[in-house]
């Protein structure tokens, strides 16, 4: 069985667009067929300490992997980009949330589906509507009808743009030692970690 997955990506430290692109590259492939990615949206932080604005995007994908495997992949991508979890809702190099996994509804403490605050977050809903105008949040309803889907507090950026890896390519699974870090064949990222 193939499930549709909605992932939200965000970054507000370092080269925000590069962190989003690298996260996207690490997520796609190896059982996660990425279909579409939104433009990047600049948004003010929600909650937490004073911090810089975020770059946010939404990724749509199909998979036969279990939802927990997708969550593990999201966490591995965050870790690979240097995410440090010290302050709730604090600044981060990369944040990847599983917003929905097909029509699954779950209150599991490890992975609540759909994401418990998705219906309240314009930085998730507006980019999601860009790539899926008829989107529905399981157990809630059409995304377009949610009050938080108002785009007045966020700004769509015309550049930089995120790009999906070519279909059929498969990224090295996140968390694996690979050539992204420090080998003679890796490309310098130009980012502070």
Find the CATH number of the domain harbouring 112: 3.30.70.560
Domain membership flag for residue 174: no
Domain membership flag for residue 178: no
Mean pLDDT in consecutive groups of 10 residues from the start of the chain, 193 residues: 95 94 94 96 86 94 96 93 77 92 92 92 95 96 92 91 80 40 31 29
With the C-alpha atoms ordered 129, 132, 133, 138, is the resulting torsion angle positive or negative? negative
Backbone angles phi and psi of 48, in degrees to 5: 75, -170
> What does the DSSP 8-state code read for residue 39?
P
Backbone angles phi and psi of 73, in degrees to 5: -65, -40
pLDDT of residue 47: 78
pLDDT of residue 151: 86
pLDDT of residue 51: 82
Question: Domain range holding 81?
Answer: 3-156
Q: Indicate the pairing of strand 32-37 with strand 3-11.
A: unpaired
Question: What CA–CA distance (Å, rounded) separates 163 from 79?
Answer: 21
Q: 9 with 187: CB under 8 angstroms?
A: no
Q: 97 with 7: CB under 8 angstroms?
A: yes
Looking at the structure of the chain, the number of domains it has is: 1
Q: Which residues are catalytic?
A: 83, 92, 95, 97
Query: E strands along the chain, which residues?
Result: 3-11, 32-37, 41-43, 54-63, 95-101, 136-137, 141-142, 154-156
pLDDT of residue 186: 29
């Amino acid at each position: 069985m193939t499930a549709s997955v909605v992932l939200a990506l965000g970054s507000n430290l370092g080269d925000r667009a590069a962190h989003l692109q690298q996260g996207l590259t690490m997520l796609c492939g190896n059982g996660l067929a990425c279909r579409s990615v939104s433009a990047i949206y600049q948004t003010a932080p929600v909650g937490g300490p004073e911090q810089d604005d975020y770059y946010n995007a939404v990724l749509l994908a199909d998979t036969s992997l279990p939802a927990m495997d997708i969550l593990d992949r999201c966490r591995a991508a965050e870790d690979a980009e240097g995410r440090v979890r010290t302050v709730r809702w604090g600044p981060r190099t990369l944040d990847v949330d599983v917003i929905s996994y097909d029509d699954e509804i779950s209150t599991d403490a490890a992975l609540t589906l759909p994401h418990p605050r998705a219906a309240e977050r314009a930085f998730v809903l507006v980019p999601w509507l860009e790539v899926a105008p008829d989107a529905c949040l399981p157990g809630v309803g059409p995304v377009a009808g949610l009050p938080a889907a108002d785009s007045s507090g966020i700004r769509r950026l015309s550049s930089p743009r995120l790009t999906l890896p070519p279909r059929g390519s498969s990224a090295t699974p996140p968390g694996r030692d690979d050539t992204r870090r420090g080998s003679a064949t890796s490309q310098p990222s130009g980012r502070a970690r």
